[in-house]
Amino acid sequence: MSQHLFDLQNQNMIITGGAQGIGFEFVKAFKEAGANIVVLDISDKVENLQELNVDYIQCDLMEIEKIEATFQQAAKKLNGKVDILINCAGIIKRSPAVDVPLDTWQRIFNLNVTSLFELSRLAARVMKEHGRGKIINLSSIVSVIGAYHSSPYSASKGAVLQLTKSLSNEWASYGIQVNAIAPGYILTDMNTDILNNPTRKAEFEKRIPANRWGSPQDIVGTALFLASPASDYVTGVLIPVDGGVLSR
Ligand SMILES: NC(=O)c1ccc[n+]([C@@H]2O[C@H](COP(=O)([O-])OP(=O)(O)OC[C@H]3O[C@@H](n4cnc5c(N)ncnc54)[C@H](O)[C@@H]3O)[C@@H](O)[C@H]2O)c1
């Protein structure tokens, strides 16, 4: 049994936001583990996935009314079977709460919450037919602690955490596990403005017991665990991967 615990060979999966950053590390690791992947991402960088022989659909997941057709297209590429969904696409916009245009709030929620909800429901219908499935949502440490100058983002990631628990409640009995990962401070484009400012970068570092920012590779092991049979009795949880920030 134990040799199958982490087996992902021929598992069919959809990864959103797989063109760069954390999602791209997922794509490389799951490809290496033998999974069949379709990436959904808005960026032109998805074209680079051709070199890895990974399939993709370039799409704007904020266009909620188009998500069902996009999902069906992805499912067709996977011969109608979706074993794993990783909801990784996300955006942040930093500014004081009083200055946030409502349109920015709406866009953050559209992508970070509504598209995740819609894709998860579409995937769950297929997974239910097969009696098993794994849904992994990228939340954040700011779903637990408050953020500073990114209140819409923090609220959206809190929503992701609560959705993870609620969807887990509904789907656990179908053999579908729904879990969330809470990355801490990770070296990706999402944090370019902080990383380009040595003082701010150092300020963030002081909050991290591990004394360093995380890399996208630091998140991979938890995703592999949550996607594999090893986590079949783990559902509805948030796993921080944050160098200890949440435990301070
Ligand atoms: N980097 C961090 O410190 C950090 C911390 C906590 C949580 N997260 C979460 O991890 C996930 C990945 O973040 P990242 O740091 O790799 O960010 P990133 O900006 O490097 O990658 C985000 C990906 O989402 C895609 N995307 C953006 N808008 C889209 C849209 N409208 N439709 C489809 N795809 C779209 C981008 O093209 C990109 O490939 C996000 O959900 C983020 O909120 C990141």
Q: What is the CATH number of the domain that holds 222?
A: 3.40.50.720
Residue 167 pLDDT exceeds 90:
yes
Mutual angle of helices 21-32 and 217-227, in 10-degree steps: 50
Ranges of beta strands (E only) in the chain are 12-16, 36-41, 55-58, 84-87, 133-138, 176-183, 238-241
Domain that holds residue 89: 2-187+218-239
Residue 246 lies in a domain: no
Residue 65 lies in a domain: yes
Per-residue pLDDT tens for 225-247?
A: 999 999 999 999 999 999 999 99
Per-residue pLDDT tens for 35-72?
A: 999 999 999 999 999 999 999 999 999 999 999 999 99
Residue 204 lies in a domain: no
Residue 161 lies in a domain: yes
Residue 244 lies in a domain: no
Strand partners, 38: 14, 55
| Number of domains into which the chain is organized | 1
SS3 17: coil
Centre of ligand 1 to C-alpha 46, Å, is 13
- Residue range 207-215: mean pLDDT, rounded: 97
Whether ligand 1 lies within 6 angstroms of the CB of 39 is answered as no
pLDDT of 243 reads 98
Q: Which two tokens stand for residue 169?
A: 């409640």
Centre of ligand 1 to C-alpha 37, Å, is 18
Residue 193 lies in a domain: no
Residue 206, C-beta contacts closer than 8 angstroms, at least 6 positions apart: none
Q: Which of the four pLDDT bands, split at 50, 70 and 90, describes residue 3?
A: low
Of residues 148, 153, 185, 233, which has the active-site annotation? 153
- The chain-wide mean pLDDT, for the chain, equals 97
Centre of ligand 1 to C-alpha 21, Å, is 7
Residue 196 lies in a domain: no
Amino acid making up residue 223: A
To the nearest whole percent, how much of the chain has pLDDT over 70? 99
CA separation (Å) from 3 to 225, 229, 233, 243?
Answer: 14, 10, 17, 29
Residue 79, C-beta contacts closer than 8 angstroms, at least 6 positions apart: 12
Residue 115 lies in a domain: yes
Whether ligand 1 lies within 6 angstroms of the CB of 24 is answered as no
Whether ligand 1 lies within 6 angstroms of the CB of 84 is answered as no
Q: Please confirm, yes or no, whether 233 is among the known catalytic residues.
A: no
Strand partners, 145: none
Whether ligand 1 lies within 6 angstroms of the CB of 177 is answered as no
Q: Torsions phi, psi of 191, nearest 5?
A: -110, 20
